[in-house]
Amino acid sequence: MTRAYLDHAATTPMSSAALEAMTAELARTGNPSSLHTAGRAARRTVEESREALASAVGARPSEVLFTGGGTEADNLAVKGIFWGRRTGHPERRRILVSAVEHHAVLDPAFWMAEHSGAEIVLLPVDGDGRVDLRVLREELAANAAQTALVSVMWANNEVGTVQPVREIVQLAHQHGVPVHSDAVQALGQLPVDFAASGLDAMTVTAHKLGGPVGTGALVARKDLPMTPVLHGGGQERGVRSGTLDVAGIRAFAVAATEAVSSLPERAVRLAALRDRLVWGVLERVPDAVLRGPADLALPPDDGAGSPARLPANAHLTFPGCEGDSLLYLLDSAGVEVSTGSACQAGVPRPSHVLLAMGVPEVEARGALRFSLGATSTDADVDLVLEVLPGVVDRARAAGLVSLGVGGAR
C-alpha cells in the first residue's frame, strides 16, 4: 500500500547527513567529562557541535545548554527561571504563559503552582491563536514586580500560529521581566535568531528538524538567574547535570545547520504543498474549517522574517466527525496524520488550543493536523485528497450510528 506520512510536527525522519554523523559518533568511545584522550576527543565534538548549533540559532556558544529534549528544556526554563528569580525576591510568584502552550510548558507551570507557590496567569488568544498583547501589557503594568517570567511559544504545534515574539519581549523587558519561548516547531521552518529576538531563554529540539529523538537544548543568556532542576555533575554550566550524549549532540548540530541553510527554498516548497492540500480539502469537504491564520501563502520578507503561520502546517476541523475516527480511518487508507500534539495522543478530549481559540467543544473534537516535512511530496497530497472525502463520510456515519440516528442503537 502507498503511504503518506504527514505528521512531521510530531517527529520527522532523520536526514541522511545527521544519521551519518550520529552513526560515526556511536562507533567511538569517550565521556566528554573525562580527561584522557578519548574523553578530550568527545569534548571537542561536543564543543564544535555547540558552536554549530549556536550559529544556526543566532546565539553565542556559551548560551547553549544541551538537554535530553524539548520537554526537559521547557521544564528547566519554567522551573529554573522561576526559582532563580525568586531567590531574594519571594514576591515574584507570577508565571505568565499563553493559553495555547504545549503541555511541556503548561504542566510544569501548574506543577509550580501546586508545589512551589506560583500563581499562573493564562494569557488569552484570539480566534487565530495569537496572544492578546493588550492583556499582556495590562498584566505587566499592574503586576511586574510580582512576575517571575513570561513564556510564550514561538509557533504553535497544533494550529501553526506564529506568535509576536519580539513585541512580547519588548513589553516584558520594559518591566525587567525575562521571556522564554518554546521554539521547537519554529526552528527549521522560520528564521529563528535568539539574539535578534531579545529572548532570555529559548527551547529547541533535534527530532523536529531531521535530528534524533532525545536531544535538545535550552538557549539561555549567561546572566539569567536559573536554578538547576537536575542535580549531579553540573556538566552544562552548572545548571544541567548528566553525561552528554555526544552522538545525539553531533547529529543535532548537523541537522540544525542543514535545516537552517536550506530554509528559504524548503519553506516556499512546503507552503505551496500545504496550500494545495488546504484548498483541495476545502473543495472536496466544503464544510471543513481551517483553524489558525487563514492567510496561507508566505508573504514577502517584511524584515521580521515570519509569516502568520508555519509553512508546513494545515489544521482543519470536520463537523460531525471525531478526530480519532478520522485518524484511524486515514491510517487504514495509508495516510498518517495527527489530531494535535502527539504528546497527548490517546487522550479522548478536545484540544486545549482550539478551546482557548473559542472553538466550540463539539467542533474541536473533529480536528486533524496535517504537517509536512522534507520528505513530503505532491504524491502525499494527492493521496490525502483522494481518500479524505470517503473517510469523512464514514466517520460521520459512524458518529450518527453511535448516537442512534439512522441505524441500530
Encode pLDDT of 197-222 as tens digits.
999 999 999 999 999 999 999 999 99
Does the pLDDT value for residue 267 go beyond 80? yes
Say what percent of the chain tops pLDDT 90: 90
Q: Strand 313-317 relative to strand 367-371: parallel, antiparallel, unpaired?
A: antiparallel
Q: Report the pLDDT value the prediction gives residue 202, as an integer from 0 to 100.
A: 98
pLDDT at 156: 98
Going by C-beta distance under 8 Å and a sequence separation of 6 or more, which residues neighbour residue 187?
56, 57, 204, 208, 209, 256, 259, 260
Question: What pLDDT, on a 0 to 100 scale, did the predictor assign at position 298?
Answer: 53
Question: Mean of the pLDDT values across residues 297-301?
Answer: 48
Long-range pairs for 390-394: beta carbons < 8 A, 24 or more residues apart: 390/333, 391/326, 391/329, 391/330, 391/333, 392/285, 392/288, 392/318, 392/321, 392/326, 394/329
pLDDT at 401 over 70: no
Domain segments of the chain as ranges:
4-12+263-402, 16-259
Q: Is the confidence at residue 137, as pLDDT, over 80?
A: yes
pLDDT at residue 344 greater than cutoff 90: no
Residue range 288-298: mean pLDDT, rounded: 83
Residue 404: predicted pLDDT: 54
The overall average pLDDT reported for the chain is 93
- Per-residue confidence at 400, pLDDT binned at 50, 70, 90? low
Strands 289-291 and 313-317 turn out to be antiparallel
Contacts for 169 with CB less than 8 Å, ≥ 6 apart: 179, 197, 198, 199
Count the residues in the chain. 409
Predicted pLDDT at 409: 31
Say if residue 303's pLDDT is above 50. no
CB count in 10 Å sphere of residue 58: 17
Q: Is the pLDDT score of 402 beyond 90?
A: no
Average pLDDT over residues 303-321: 86
pLDDT at 111 over 50: yes
pLDDT band, very low/low/confident/very high, at 112 (cuts 50, 70, 90): very high
Which helix or strand (DSSP H or E) is residue 54 part of?
A: helix 37-57
Q: Compute the distance between CA of residue 40 and CA of residue 34 in angstroms, rounded to an integer.
A: 7
User: pLDDT band at residue 70, thresholds of 50, 70 and 90?
Assistant: very high
If you classify domain 16-259 with CATH, what class do you get?
Answer: alpha beta
Strand order in the sheet with 289-291: 289-291, 313-317, 367-371
User: Which pLDDT band, with edges at 50, 70 and 90, does 66 fall under?
Assistant: very high
Alpha helices in 189-245 (DSSP H): 194-197
pLDDT band at 340 (very low <50, low <70, confident <90, very high): confident
- CA–CA distance, 228 with 238 (Å, rounded to integer): 7
Packing angle of the helix pair 133-143, 165-173 (nearest 10 deg): 20
Measuring CA to CA, how many Å separate 315 from each of 318, 358, 381, 406? 10, 15, 14, 30
Contact 254, 45 (CB under 8 A): no
pLDDT at 341: 54
Residue 280 in grid coordinates:
483541495
Q: What is the predicted pLDDT for the residue at 1?
A: 80
Separation of alpha carbons 326 and 347, rounded Å: 15
Task: Give the mean pLDDT of 2-16.
Answer: 97
What's the CATH superfamily of 4-12+263-402?
A: Aspartate Aminotransferase, domain 1 (3.90.1150.10)
The answer to whether the Cα torsion of 343, 256, 54, 305 is positive or negative is negative
Give the whole-angstrom CA distance, residue 381 versus residue 366: 20
Q: Does residue 195 surpass a pLDDT of 70?
A: yes
Query: How many other C-beta atoms can be found within 10 angstroms of the C-beta atom of residue 156?
Result: 30
Is 343 labeled as catalytic in the residue annotation?
Answer: yes
Contacts of 262 (CB under 8 A, 6+ apart): none
Inter-residue contact 351 to 340 (CB < 8 Å): yes
Span 350-379, pLDDT tens digits: 999 999 999 999 999 999 999 999 999 999
- Kindly name the residue from 144, 342, 343, 398 that is annotated as catalytic: 343
Q: What is the mean pLDDT of residues 174-202?
A: 98
| Longest pairwise C-alpha distance within the chain | 75
